[in-house]
Each structure stands twice: as C-alpha cells, then as structure tokens.
C-alpha cells in the first residue's frame, strides 16, 4: 500500500500537534501542512492561516497545495461537512462525513441510537420546552445530568446535585440561551456512578481497531473538584480496564456501536470515541464523539508501534480489515497547562519561556499558543500546553511530566497536580 506524501491536518490544538508528530514518524516521511496550526505546530509543519471551520477555504487549500490526504482533527469542521466536500473534490480524507459527525453534534441522535440498539446507557428524556422538562425532572432520582443537544466545546453537560440546580440548568438552556442553538433541545439522563474511561476506535465501515485505553481528568481542580473542562490531563494504559473488561466492552459496546452506525446507513470512516462509565452494573455509554479525543490522543499515539499514517490511510480507503496493533508496554501521561481562570474567563498574550532541556521521552505539545509581534510564544487559549511523557512506569512518566511543568515559565500557568493519581493510589 503506497502512502500519501502531501498531507493536510486540520486544527490548532494539542490533539493536532500529537497527530503531526505521529505522522512525521511514518517511514513515508510526509510533507505536512496544518490549518490553522499554532506556534508549536509551526516548528514541525507548514502552517497556513485558514480557520478550521472554513470549509470552502480548506478545500481550496487542499486543491491548491495538491494534497493527497486530509486528516480532520476537530468536531466542528466534521459536523459542517468538510469531509463530504473533500470527497466531492476527489481528495481522500480521514474523518466521518456530516451524517456520521452528527453522532457528536447531537447528543439526542446518539442517545436514540443507543436506546434503539439496546447498547448499555442511562435512561433519558428529550425536551425542547421547559414545562415538560421540569415535570420529567421531578420523576427522576437526583443527582441528574442535563445536556445541551449540540456542540458546546465540552461544556454543555451539567451534573446537577439538587433539583433546584437541575431546574436552573433546564431554564438556562431552553429559556436563557446559555449554549445558543446547541441548547435549544436538551437531554436529561440519569446520573451514572463509577470511573470513566475513554475508548478510541479507528473505524472503517464495520471494521475497527481499538486503540490503547486511557483515562481523562475533566474537572479543573485537584481531586476532581470544580467545573468540567475540555480535559486537564490523561494517562494510558488505564489499568482499571482489565483485559477481561476490555473484552466485555468490545463485545457489549464497541462492536454493537460500530454495527448500529452501519445499520443506520452511515459509512463511518474515522475515529469513534466512546466515553464509558464503569458502573457497578457494568460498562455503560456516556457519549460518542467522532474524532480523536483531546488530551487522550496525546497519550494514546506515543504508545502505538504501528505506522500511524498507514493506519489512518487504510481506514479512509476501506482497507482496515485484518489490521493488528502493536502497543508499547510503556505508560504515557499528559499534564495540561492551562491559563488561570479557565474554563471561565482567562487572559491571553502571556509570554511563555521554555526550558532548554526536557526529561527523557518528554514532549511539549502546543494547544492554545501563538506568536506576538516580537516573535515571542504567548498564551492564546484556555488550554495552553500538554506536557506528555512516556516511561516504563506511570510513576516515572508522571515524575518526568511534572518536572517539565515546573520549568516552564508563564505568569498565568495553572495545572492539576494529580493526573494519574487514581491509578497510582490504586496500586
């Protein structure tokens, strides 16, 4: 199988920086263009200032640069139909078309599929008006989860601890427009209890490959306190998912999910990201996403021995059947450095000073960074950097990552100090 040599990666975050590094490691030695990229990605690839949601501009860029293959990072361009337009232009792409991206763009659509195909998930109701939503709330146990139906940058989920809090969440979305069009319809579902895990599945029709299992840390503060974020760090492998449990997840959730999507007439060629709660009753689906997770990608990709570019190329071409992954035994950890104030209001433009050396097998992946008029790298988002380390043990990986975090200088630097602690304490 000949591999593409001229590649466009769409996006500007830590996930995309991880994708760039994984593709650059391919024996194909590809030339990589990234749109729009960031200050760190620009050190590894050629960045072009075309926004990730500019579908027309991205297709034109791919045509102008004679791109062989496009890898789409974020969910927004997928939901806008970027892959549909690339395929029309006869440009191969990794990522689902708009019908598949709807699995992330609409939580109600996903929940309906989960319920229809009897894939384990929490009971739920769907609402577009306040009164019936409030009436439903009063019939369900508290705590309860209120979700905006559409895309909300990872912030459209409220776990209400009281009935009053749940009622306020309903009103803020349906009446107050808290999440705009994304909150015009909402999903209310029973709260599930247990540990979460993330399953990333490279999918091509009914064929799929499960990538190394990871565990994300969503809340802003140590000890899983404070509001939800896009993710403050992650580690892999997540040993709470034993080989026996992974086999159960594959049998009861992954394979039925892949087949259900195909049975719905969706030719899904991309990443099916399945968020799973490990409840006392067994694993249960929280949500589907339709792209690589961020920051899960940052720890999953370094553990894959295979040519990663070849893996994605095979999935996009419908040639994934029979693919076997070889996984490194090493552990990986990613600690996200955020701007103080994230996920609410935060400052941009703070200079970042990087250390001259890093611990062994440690990388700084850029997420929300830019260069100012003087060429200085500065903060340009809520999640700024991902410090990723690989080591024979999780303890050593964490030591390396946190040593690097301490040496990065930035006035608004903030990070959690307990990424991976659940697993380390469990041992």
Query: Helix 107-116 to helix 255-263 angle, to the nearest 10 degrees?
Result: 100
Query: Which DSSP letter does residue 213 get?
Result: P
CA dist list (Å): 168 to 126, 159, 274: 17, 12, 28
CATH superfamily assigned to domain 123-190: ATP-grasp fold, A domain (3.30.1490.20)
List the pLDDT tens digit at each of the 427 positions of the chain: 699 999 999 999 999 999 999 999 999 999 999 999 999 999 999 999 999 999 999 999 999 999 999 999 999 999 999 999 999 999 999 999 999 999 999 999 999 999 999 999 999 999 999 999 999 999 999 999 999 999 887 678 889 999 999 999 999 999 988 889 888 999 999 999 999 898 999 999 999 999 999 999 999 999 999 988 889 999 999 999 999 999 999 999 999 999 999 999 999 999 999 999 999 999 999 999 999 999 999 999 999 999 999 999 999 999 999 999 999 999 999 999 999 999 999 999 999 999 999 999 999 999 999 999 999 999 999 999 999 999 999 999 999 999 999 999 999 999 999 999 989 887 5
The answer to whether the Cα torsion of 181, 185, 190, 192 is positive or negative is negative
The CATH classification number of 331-426 equals 3.90.600.10
Q: Which of 3.20.20.70, 3.40.50.280, 3.40.50.20, 3.30.200.20 would CATH assign to domain 6-103?
A: 3.40.50.20
Nearest CA-CA partner of 282 in 163, 192, 411: 192
Query: Which DSSP letter does residue 325 get?
Result: -
H-helix segments, 346-393: none
Element (H, E) at 60: helix 55-64
Strand partners, 35: 10
Query: Which DSSP letter does residue 232 get?
Result: S
> For residues 145 and 121, is the Cβ–Cβ distance under 8 A?
no
Instruction: Count each helix (H run) and each strand (E run) in the chain, helices first.
Output: 14, 23
Q: Which of 1.10.580.10, 3.20.20.70, 1.10.3720.10, 3.30.470.20 would CATH assign to domain 195-316?
A: 3.30.470.20
Q: Give the integer Cα–Cα distance in Å for 313 and 252.
A: 28
> For residues 331 and 394, is the Cβ–Cβ distance under 8 A?
yes
DSSP letters, 94-117, are ES--HHHHHHHH-HHHHHHHHHHT
Domain spans in the chain, listed from the N-terminal domain onward: 6-103, 123-190, 195-316, 331-426
CA of residue 106 relative to chain centroid, distance: 16
Is there a shared CATH topology between the 6-103 domain and the 331-426 domain?
no
Dihedral Cα 341, 342, 348, 354, nearest 10 deg:
100
CA dist list (Å): 393 to 234, 245, 306, 335: 15, 22, 21, 16
Instruction: Give the strand pairing for 282-289 and 225-228.
Output: unpaired
Strand partners, 127: 186
């Amino acid at each position: 199988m000949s591999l593409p040599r001229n590649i466009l990666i769409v996006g500007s975050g830590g996930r995309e920086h991880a994708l760039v590094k994984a593709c650059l490691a391919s024996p194909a030695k590809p030339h990589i263009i990234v749109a729009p990229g960031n200050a760190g990605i620009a050190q590894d690839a050629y960045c072009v200032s075309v926004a990730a949601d500019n579908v027309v501009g991205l297709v034109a860029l791919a045509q102008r640069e004679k791109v062989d293959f496009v890898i789409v990072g974020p969910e927004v361009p997928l939901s806008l139909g970027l892959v549909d337009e690339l395929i029309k232009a006869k440009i191969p792409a990794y990522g689902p078309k708009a019908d598949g991206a709807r699995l992330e763009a609409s939580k109600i659509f996903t929940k309906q599929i989960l319920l229809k195909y009897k894939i384990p998930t929490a009971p739920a109701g769907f609402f577009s008006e306040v009164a019936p939503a409030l009436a439903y709330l009063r019939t369900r146990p508290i705590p309860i989860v209120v979700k905006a139906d559409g895309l909300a940058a990872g912030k459209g989920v409220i776990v209400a601890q009281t009935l009053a809090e749940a009622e306020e969440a309903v009103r803020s979305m349906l009446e107050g427009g808290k999440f705009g069009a994304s909150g015009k319809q909402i999903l209310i579902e029973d709260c599930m209890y247990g540990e979460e895990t993330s399953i990333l599945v490279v999918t091509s029709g009914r064929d799929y490959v499960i990538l190394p299992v990871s565990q994300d840390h969503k809340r802003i503060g140590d000890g899983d306190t404070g509001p939800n974020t896009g993710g403050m760090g992650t580690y892999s492998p997540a040993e709470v998912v034993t080989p026996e449990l992974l086999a159960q997840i594959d049998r009861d959730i992954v394979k039925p999910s892949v087949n259900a999507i195909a049975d719905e007439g969706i030719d899904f060629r991309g990443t099916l990201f399945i968020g799973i709660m490990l409840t006392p009753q067994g694993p249960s689906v929280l949500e589907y996403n339709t792209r690589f997770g961020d920051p899960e990608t940052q720890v999953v990709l370094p553990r894959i021995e295979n040519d990663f570019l070849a893996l994605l190329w095979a999935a996009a071409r419908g040639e994934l059947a029979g693919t076997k992954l070889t996984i490194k035994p090493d552990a990986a950890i990613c600690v996200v450095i955020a701007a103080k104030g994230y996920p609410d209001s935060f400052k941009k433009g703070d200079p970042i000073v990087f250390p001259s050396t890093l611990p062994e097998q440690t990388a700084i992946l850029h997420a929300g960074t830019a260069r100012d008029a003087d060429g200085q790298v500065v903060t340009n988002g809520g999640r700024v950097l991902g410090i990723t380390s690989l080591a024979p043990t999780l303890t050593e990986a964490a030591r390396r990552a946190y040593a690097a975090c301490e040496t990065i200088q930035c006035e608004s630097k903030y990070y959690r100090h307990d990424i991976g602690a659940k697993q380390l304490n469990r041992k």
